Amino acid sequence: PDLLPGFFRTDIQGAHGAIYGSNAVKPGFGNIFSGRFHHNIKKCYLVTLTRIIFDIQFLRIMKFIVSSSALLKQLQQISGVINANTVLPILEDFLFEIEKNKLTVVATDLETVMKVHMDIEAKDSGKVCIPAKILLDSLKNIPEQPLTFNIDKNFGVEITSDNGKYKVMGENPDNFPKEPAADDANNFTMTSSALVTAINKAIFAVSNDDLRPAMTGVYFELDKKGISFVATDAHRLVKY
């Protein structure tokens, strides 16, 4: 029993005392697994082992199952916003949020926030931060199959596949930057193909001068008739 964590050891000693009394001689714990223990103490340790198994399962705070290829495809869509040279190490992570069989993955560089949503199989809800590069590199080497993610109370992540198990240390999701609230935001809906076409028509005129950040992007102008895309580097001006 002395080799076990404190709360497991307490369970064993408590069960022993309850059956035999506090002054009883305690048998060696190794005999449980060798099968050479007396029949009159079997019940004590079988009850205790059941409790230990329950406690080990309790340590797992979150579990979900997801398609490897579907997850990789979604993560690749937002991985471009992650900067490996960031000052905050947690910005190198994806934030996983699970609720009601829905997975939301968030990536940010403090200026841009990107999210993807996908359906998964899950009974638990929770959050965890997982290192982006390690996760992407692992998924690229795994063929299409369901993956089981198990996250423990210390945010350790175990990924089980047909090829084996992968373990990585996650981080506390409470340290991940909060998404800033938008003030007086306008919404619009358009097809992804139309949006990509419009940006491609204007992006060649975008400035590369970091000293003028307003010119390093494409300007969206909304009105009741539609939307215009404008870009300039102070030498060229494009409106689509």
Residue 233 has phi, psi (to 5 degrees) of -120, 20
Confidence of residue 60 (pLDDT cuts 50, 70, 90): low
Long-range contacts of 224-232 (CB under 8 A, 24+ apart): 227/188, 227/190, 227/198, 229/198, 229/199, 229/201, 229/202, 230/202, 231/202, 231/203, 231/204, 231/205, 231/206, 232/205, 232/206, 232/207
- pLDDT, tens digit, 9 for 90 and up, residues 109-157: 888 899 999 999 998 889 999 999 999 999 998 999 999 999 998 899 9
Q: Does position 5 have pLDDT exceeding 50, yes or no?
A: no
Residue 240: strand, helix, or coil = coil
At residue 85, the pLDDT reads 76
Strand partners, 167: 158
- pLDDT, tens digit, 9 for 90 and up, residues 22-48: 444 444 444 444 454 444 444 444 444
For residues 59 and 201, the model is more confident at 201
- C-alpha torsion sign, points 120, 121, 122, 123: positive
Confidence of residue 59 (pLDDT cuts 50, 70, 90): low
Q: What is the mean pLDDT of residues 81-93?
A: 86
Say what the pTM is.
0.65
The HSE-up count of residue 110 (CA atoms within 13 Å, CB side) is 8
H helical segments located in 141-209: 192-202
Residue 171: strand, helix, or coil = strand
Strand partners, 126: 98
For residues 82 and 2, the model is more confident at 82
Residue 71: strand, helix, or coil = helix
At residue 186, the pLDDT reads 74
Q: Does position 4 have pLDDT exceeding 60, yes or no?
A: no
